[in-house]
Amino acid sequence: MNIFLTRLTIFSAFLLLASWHSFAANEAFKFGKIPDDVVTTKTYAPDPEANAAVLSHVGNVKIDYHVSDGFLVNYSVHKVTKILNKDGLSHGDLEIPYYVIAGRKDDVFGIKGFVYNEVNGKIVKEKIEKEHIFDEEVNKNYRIKKISPPNVKEGSVIEISYEITSDLFSYIREWEFQADIPTQWSELTFEYPEYYSFTQSTQGYQKFEIYEEKGGTGNAAWTNQERVTNGYTVSSQVSSNSVTYNTTKYHYAVKNAPALEPEPFIDNPSSYCTKVEFQLQSLQFPNSGRQILTGSWEKLAEELLEAEDFGKMLQKGAFAKTTVESLIADAASDEEKAVRIYNHITKKMTWDDRVGIYPTKALDKSYKEGKGSAADINMLLTLFLNQAGLSAFPVMTSTRGSGFLNPANPVRYRINYLLTLLVVGEKQILLDATNPSLQFGYLPLHAINFRGFAMIPGLSQLINVGNSAVNSEVMMVNMKIVDEELHASVSRNFQGYGAARIKGKIAVDGKEKYTESFSNELKDWDLKSIDWENLDTKDKAVVEKYELVGTSGFEVSGDRIYFNPFEEVYLSENPFKLDGRIFPIDFMYQQKRQMVVNIEVPAGYVVEEMPKGLINQFNEKGLVYSYRISSPSPDKIQIMISYQVNQTLFEASQYAQIKEFFDSIAQKQKENIVLKKV
């Protein structure tokens, strides 16, 4: 090998690494001191396909003493983001949630920052001004500071810092070390006095570059002013006081965290990000007793049920009495009463796409207007069910994209959605009336997020959030070969999400546009006709029937016909392509799919070869697949396929076995039937 070329290659690699030194440093940037090469760099080396990257995200959290307010939580955050292409432009914006709760609040201040751009070979630094900062009131207690920096474009570096002071000691903000774009360096310190007792918990799959706990000291200083009387003279006497106390300091950092991107059967990777949470356990100042302050779901539920703008609203249901009586007049069971009320609310109310747990207005007003937030609609549903004499309760939870609820810590900003729990005998049914196309017992996908907290007076409890019915699809197909073309008559019966999808699309686009879209999705098939049953009936399965003519999975070669009716059918490709996986596998909801294919053997042909049957299961019938094939007569072939998801969540350690399970399905469904001419 040419030694000169080898040395040149090594030297070039060294220059490339040197040009990336700012991104690779295990430390934060200093405010206002972004190196020029960070601005001019066009890609992010650890992930060249990234649209944007967080280069540095550093938070310092400290509970210390303020003369005028006593102890407060002080947050100081500095974030640097690199925009790499136009698809990453939105990552230049920043949202800061904060709270105002019954006289207590977060105070967000000191927002400052710059946008760095390369212009004609020079680095231009533009300041983020007040007009780039906006306030949004989400609800009575929850607000957002929105920062939209100026002149953000491809190549920009956005630097933002801000501070928060808060007296919400029970709700220390969690710190996430990952985002939906890669993060080069994320770091957090949290220091608090000995008077406070916190527990900390971490989750995620990234290795901590720094993970340490150590002690320190702090100081509280204050003055006392006393009136002193000396005979006829009154004066003021000022004394200075101070105390030194011990502190506990946690320090964490994560380096080169990959983007949280969806993978097959994990559409909410943010729920699995590497993060740390703190929960206040107790408080004890000198010369005073210990106060147990552990926040709990039960306490939060009690507060909400007694609140005028939440639980008390359920006691104002007189406006619904007449309507409810007419709805349930001849119902044969409690569940039938519930179904009628659910159908009425889904038909009457239109969701405005807003989430949150607090109703936005009085429930009678929402009902009259026929429109509202998820909280408005599902509180109405709860109220109507209660008016019918049924046992229904609000359930606080979070949307799928907002992360899981922590059973040990009711973090308020994580709670952003409201459901209804109906209890009928021993049966618990979760309901959400925001989607008019969904049948009773099915939740919108954004609401299926593992856990929720049912607010039942005296019996509040964590519950699993999921459907009360199994999503199902039954498909019947009759096939025959006519003039070297395949004719297929298909009938599909949908319960659950398939039915909601069809109803929703037809309601929005109409049958003609739906048919056009359906036809365009077909490959090697011509759609000859299509029709539906039960589109206007809420409680029955939607039946979709259509006729196809094509050549998909069908080939004539000499005196043989090679035939595979599953060439484009669900599970004919293994959805798991990667060699490994760090996230769990989440199928979200239980489901059952069945497919029966009847094939007419053309005259003059006999069956020469058929695939063998297969019955496969994984994890004690958590996943089940069966393939049965038979020839009940010389001119008939029947194939029956069944696929069931009985267990919805699997650990990442089971990935290799699950991948193998689905690979066996894909291979089976690729096997041909061979017909021979006689």
Mind listing the pLDDT tens digit for each residue in 145-197?
999 999 999 999 999 999 999 998 878 899 999 999 999 999 999 999 999 99
Which long-range contacts link 627-631 to residues 24+ away (Cβ below 8 Å)? 627/668, 627/669, 631/607
Return the ∠ at Cα 417 (arms to 138 and 303), rounded to 5°: 85
Q: What is the residue-averaged pLDDT of the chain?
A: 89
Query: What is residue 605's predicted lDDT score, i.e. its pLDDT?
Result: 93
Query: What is residue 365's predicted lDDT score, i.e. its pLDDT?
Result: 97
CA 95 to chain centre: 18
Instruction: Name the nearest CA neighbour of 439 among 534, 372, 363, 352.
Output: 534
The mean-pLDDT minimum among 65-79, 125-139, 560-574, 596-610 falls in 560-574
Other Cβ atoms closer than 10 A to 428: 15
Task: Give the tens place of pLDDT for each residue, 417-465.
Answer: 999 999 999 999 999 999 999 999 999 999 998 899 999 998 989 999 9
Query: What is residue 19's predicted lDDT score, i.e. its pLDDT?
Result: 40
Other Cβ atoms closer than 10 A to 448: 21
Which helix (H) or strand (E) is 487 found in, with range? Answer: strand 485-495
Is it the case that residue 545 has pLDDT exceeding 50? Answer: yes
Instruction: Name the nearest CA neighbour of 65 among 217, 263, 175.
Output: 217
Mean pLDDT of 288-305: 80
Q: Tell me which amino acid residue 589 is.
A: Y
Cα–Cα dist 634/366, whole Å: 64
Backbone angles phi, psi at 197, to 5 degrees: -125, 120
Is it the case that residue 240 has pLDDT exceeding 90? Answer: no
Instruction: Name the nearest CA neighbour of 377 among 429, 435, 328, 456.
Output: 435
Query: What is residue 17's predicted lDDT score, i.e. its pLDDT?
Result: 38
Cβ–Cβ < 8 Å for 75, 145: no
* pTM exceeds 0.85 for this model: no
Q: Name the pLDDT band for 235 (thresholds 50, 70, 90).
A: low
Q: Tell me which amino acid residue 177 is.
A: F
Cα–Cα dist 663/661, whole Å: 5
Task: Give the tens place of pLDDT for each residue, 458-503.
Answer: 898 999 999 999 999 999 999 998 888 899 999 999 999 999 999 9
Mean pLDDT of 543-560: 91
SS3 of 434-476: the string is: CCCCCCCCCCCHHHCCEEEEECCCCCCEEEEECCCCCEEEEEE
Give the whole-number percent of the chain exceeding pLDDT 90.
Answer: 71
Q: Is 340 left (phi over 0), alpha (psi -120 to 50) or beta?
A: alpha
Is it the case that residue 295 has pLDDT exceeding 70? Answer: no
Instruction: Name the nearest CA neighbour of 451 among 302, 271, 205.
Output: 271
Instruction: Name the nearest CA neighbour of 296 among 202, 406, 173, 201.
Output: 406
Query: What is residue 600's predicted lDDT score, i.e. its pLDDT?
Result: 95
Q: Name the pLDDT band for 118 (thresholds 50, 70, 90).
A: very high
Cα–Cα dist 464/448, whole Å: 9
SS3 of 96-150: the string is: EEEEEECCEEEEEEEEEEEEEEEECCEEEEEECCHHHEEEEECCCCEEEEEECCC
Task: Annotate 11-45 with b (16+ C-beta within 10 A) or e (fewer).
Answer: eeeeeeeeebebbeeeebbeeeebbeebbebeebb
Instruction: Name the nearest CA neighbour of 273 among 403, 79, 397.
Output: 403
Backbone angles phi, psi at 245, to 5 degrees: -130, 160
Instruction: Name the nearest CA neighbour of 418 among 461, 465, 386.
Output: 465
Task: Annotate 451-475 with b (16+ C-beta within 10 A) or e (fewer).
Answer: bbbbbbeeebeebebbbeebbbbbb
Backbone angles phi, psi at 381, to 5 degrees: -60, -45
Tokens of residue 47, six digits: 């992930």
Tokens of residue 321, six digits: 């009495």
Task: Give the tens place of pLDDT for each residue, 205-232.
Answer: 899 999 999 999 998 887 776 665 666 6
Cα–Cα dist 371/484, whole Å: 55
Query: What is residue 510's predicted lDDT score, i.e. its pLDDT?
Result: 95
Cβ burial, residue 588 (10 Å; 0-12/13-18/19+) = buried
Q: Is 619 left (phi over 0), alpha (psi -120 to 50) or beta?
A: left
Task: Give the tens place of pLDDT for each residue, 5-25.
Answer: 333 333 333 333 334 444 444
Is it the case that residue 3 has pLDDT exceeding 60? Answer: no
